[in-house]
Structure 1
């Protein structure tokens, strides 16, 4: 309520009162008086403010999607799965230490099995500590050995946190050359991918992982296969 108090004041006060140049104390008194006399208006005022804020967020997101579509869906420096010529692109921002990201794994596999005309773009977004950063850099480096997909699923299937030791064990299990992997982790394209993920996530207003972009829809949080399939259908219809 305190967050919206100033906005509620503007909604509830008559223009004449504002024109009189009342100080903040008097404005607060008038607003409280209006609320006591008509308590139901507070819910209406909050609803108006929230609707305005939601509309503003949607407009901002639409602008970002319009200007950043190529970076989101066609970045040559982003790992992809599925159909490279797919008519709908699913972009996932994720962190290997995010438990919800790990729970997405079977749902993503179900989507790819159900729809062979979908392209999945992965945005490595390591925001949960040094282990996450190490895992993301290692995964991106594994592309140089053509083992990203295999390594990605192996790290997602780890028991416990992704840290340097566990990530290296996963790399060994999928047959990566560890010495080359460590060298490739310092490649400029690895840092560039992570920096781009950070920039895009901020621009889209994402605050955590997993977060998805499917067509015009932003879907922060865990979504299951049926929800993914429905969003893909909507994106395909819009196209």
Structure 2
């Protein structure tokens, strides 16, 4: 039984006792209200962990509301890159930065999950927060995605850029774009164009609404996950979205 459940049980018991009193016919008396407040106060003092549980519950409900209000932009934006099964029953959205060391580790997690789960749909959203090099690389990445709606060329670009060593900047991103067969003349034109700018603005607006400040960060179903938590944790969240349990 969780602390929250125990609190509800204590309050219910108190309310039942007071409800049986004759004064209840006209509502709780000031003394009864004072006693109920005392029960709540004493319970919080004895169970401080409840405060964290309530805060987590409030944050979870807030995130569910944000996800619901931004569902179209999160899961079905025409500016996003979609990998895996486009008709999959669960979508995992990842916000990333090409200079994020943890995102490099998370790349292997994503590839592993897609290979193991034919019903997983993956959405990638650029979130270049670490440096100007990250921003420049993100602009190149969005421009690469604009040339291939299947996402195959972009995914090739994404893996090569994230799996390389050292800092990523515009020069390196452009070199990788050329390596994967992008139209470089068009790319040069697009990286400073309105569509690339709109795509990045959309990602930043979503990240801000969700409270994401670092990468990688994920949205899976109605839950947010922050950090490179690993395959096991991500799979558990995917399963929760799919069947309501950590293991389906």
Structures share fold, TM-score greater than 0.5:
yes
Equivalents in 2 of 1:97, 1:109: separation in Å? 19
Counterpart of 1:228 in structure 2 is: 234
Counterpart of 2:34 in structure 1 is: none
1:88-123, CA deviations, whole angstroms, 9 ceiling, x for partnerless residues? 000001000000001111111110100111110111
Counterpart of 1:195 in structure 2 is: 201
SS for the counterpart of 2:62 is helix
Stretches of structure 1 that go unaligned for 5 or more consecutive residues are: 1-40
Paired residues, number: 200
Counterpart of 2:131 in structure 1 is: 129
SS for the counterpart of 2:70 is helix
Equivalents in 2 of 1:117, 1:49: separation in Å? 38
1:155 aligns to 2:157 (yes or no): no
1:114-149, CA deviations, whole angstroms, 9 ceiling, x for partnerless residues? 011111011111101111111111011012332211
Summarize the Cα distance change of 1:185–1:44 in structure 2 as closer, same or farther, 3 Å threshold.
farther
* Structure-to-structure mapping, 1:49-198, within 5 angstroms: 49-146=51-148, 147-198=153-204
Match of 1:207 among 208, 213, 232: 213
SS for the counterpart of 2:161 is helix
Equivalents in 2 of 1:83, 1:233: separation in Å? 16
Equivalents in 1 of 2:147, 2:57: separation in Å? 45
Q: Is the 8 A contact 1:158 1:166 kept in 2?
A: no
- Post-superposition shift, 1:229? 2.0
Equivalents in 1 of 2:46, 2:99: separation in Å? 41
**TM-score normalised according to structure 2 size:** 0.74
1:28-49, CA deviations, whole angstroms, 9 ceiling, x for partnerless residues? xxxxxxxxxxxxx997575344
Q: Is the 8 A contact 1:92 1:212 kept in 2?
A: yes
